Amino acid sequence: MSQLFSPLSIKDITFKNRIGVAAMCQYSSVDGLANEWHRVHMGSLAVGGAGLIIAEASGVTPEGRITPGCAGIWNDQQVEALLPITQFIELHGAVPGIQIAHAGRKASAAIPWEGGQHLKNDEGGWDIIGPSAEPFDDDGTRLWKTPIQMSKADIVATQDAFVEAAKRSLAAGYKLLEIHGAHGYLLHSFFSPLVNIRDDEYGGSLENRARMMLETTAKVREVWPENLPLAVRLSATDWDDAGLSVEDNIQMSSWLKDAGVDIVDCSGGGASPVSRSSIGNKTAMQPAIAGEIRKNAGIMSMAVGGITDPKQAEEIIASGQADIALLAREMIRNPNWPLLAAKTLGADTKPVVPAHKAFFVG
């Protein structure tokens, strides 16, 4: 009997299987709004059979977007545009999740296929903020904007923006909320010693660097219903001896558990040029790290990175590395991956995809 295709319940939500689609920016919004692209993209994933679909990093403020094409969740118009998508996902048996995010010093960038470089303010970019006034890079080859060091008032305002985004996510019909605490974006950049060189209560010791993520999470938990799952995505290692270790992230996960988080999503990298990649080769080591965090922090985990093969995903769940296996690029290649995985693993395909598919090709 396949473990990957066994249901999972977290709080009042039941996932029909342990396959999730990881958050993936689509760079296709105008003013943060979902449009036809998102309806078709998310819709195809919804009928592909994954139990959980996490919508892309959605800015809690306009300045918190990575690029001008990124999604947003800072106004009611965005909520209205998202509602039909979450309803469609649920209608076809998947759980709609959303990742709420602030890109910090990595914001104000061009979309990847237009180069990904920081945009000047007169090119459609904007002023960026971070824990410290340190640019992501200074390799001299291109523009790396220097962020404005956040004041205490900026910190509180940003935490409040996460809270408002959580309320809007609920209104938009999402049933799982993921706070983006990874990839060098704002919350991770506070936690990582590669970025944060503050000397106040938000910098210095591990406890101080963790404060921004933990305070934000605790405030979000107050408004995100107790019966719905709350997740945090971590960069579970900075891939740099001077940065965050897996042990630091075990500690963070156990603090997050105390703050009411149900499951941690164990990604990696992104804080600095050295640990830049959150998509590259190193990600294949992440599922093992998800297992370490799950075991040592006593919290549910999602594994992500290089998962392409149904037997590999089955092993990740069966061996206790994770409760949910997240796929990103493989789902771009094939949104029907869960259906094929069910066939490969000998699981019943009928509960996996809608009858429209199961009847004919299940």
Regarding 233 and contact with ligand FMN (CB under 6 A), the answer is yes
User: At 41, phi and psi to the nearest 5?
Assistant: -60, -55
Q: What does the per-residue mask of binding to ligand FMN show for 235-274, with x meaning CB under 6 A?
A: --------------------------------x-------
Q: Site for ligand FMN (CB under 6 A): how many residues? A: 23
Stretch that binds ligand FMN, among 45-53, 158-166, 178-186, 196-204 (CB under 6 A): 178-186
| Binds ligand FMN (CB under 6 A): choice among 325, 328, 347, 352 | 328
Per DSSP, helices labelled H in the chain are 36-46, 76-91, 152-171, 186-191, 206-223, 246-258, 286-297, 310-318, 329-333, 337-345, 355-361
Regarding 206 and contact with ligand FMN (CB under 6 A), the answer is no
Regarding 289 and contact with ligand FMN (CB under 6 A), the answer is no
For the question of residue 202 being annotated catalytic, the response is no
Both structure tokens of 155: 């910190």
Stretch that binds ligand FMN, among 21-29, 102-110, 255-263, 350-358 (CB under 6 A): 21-29
Q: What does the per-residue mask of binding to ligand FMN show for 40-79, with x meaning CB under 6 A?
A: ----------------xx----------------------
- Confirm if 62 and 118 have CB atoms less than 8 A apart: no
Non-local CB neighbours of 63 within 8 Å, separated by 6+ positions: 107, 108, 126, 127, 128, 129
Kindly give the interhelix angle for 286-297 and 246-258, rounded to the nearest 10 degrees. Answer: 50
For residues 226 and 170, what is the distance between their CA atoms, to the nearest angstrom? Answer: 12
| Nearest to ligand FMN of 307, 324 (CB atom) | 307
39, 204, 242 from 199: Cα distances, Å: 45, 6, 18
| Nearest to ligand FMN of 10, 266 (CB atom) | 266
| Nearest to ligand FMN of 203, 306 (CB atom) | 306
Stretch that binds ligand FMN, among 5-13, 35-43, 256-264, 326-334 (CB under 6 A): 326-334
Q: What is the DSSP letter of 296?
A: H
For residues 41 and 47, what is the distance between their CA atoms, to the nearest angstrom? Answer: 10
Q: Which of residues 77-136 bind ligand FMN (CB under 6 A)?
A: 99
For residues 287 and 317, what is the distance between their CA atoms, to the nearest angstrom? Answer: 10
Binding site residues, ligand FMN, CB under 6 A: 22-25, 56-57, 99, 180, 182-183, 233, 267, 278-279, 283, 304-307, 327-330
Active site residues: 185
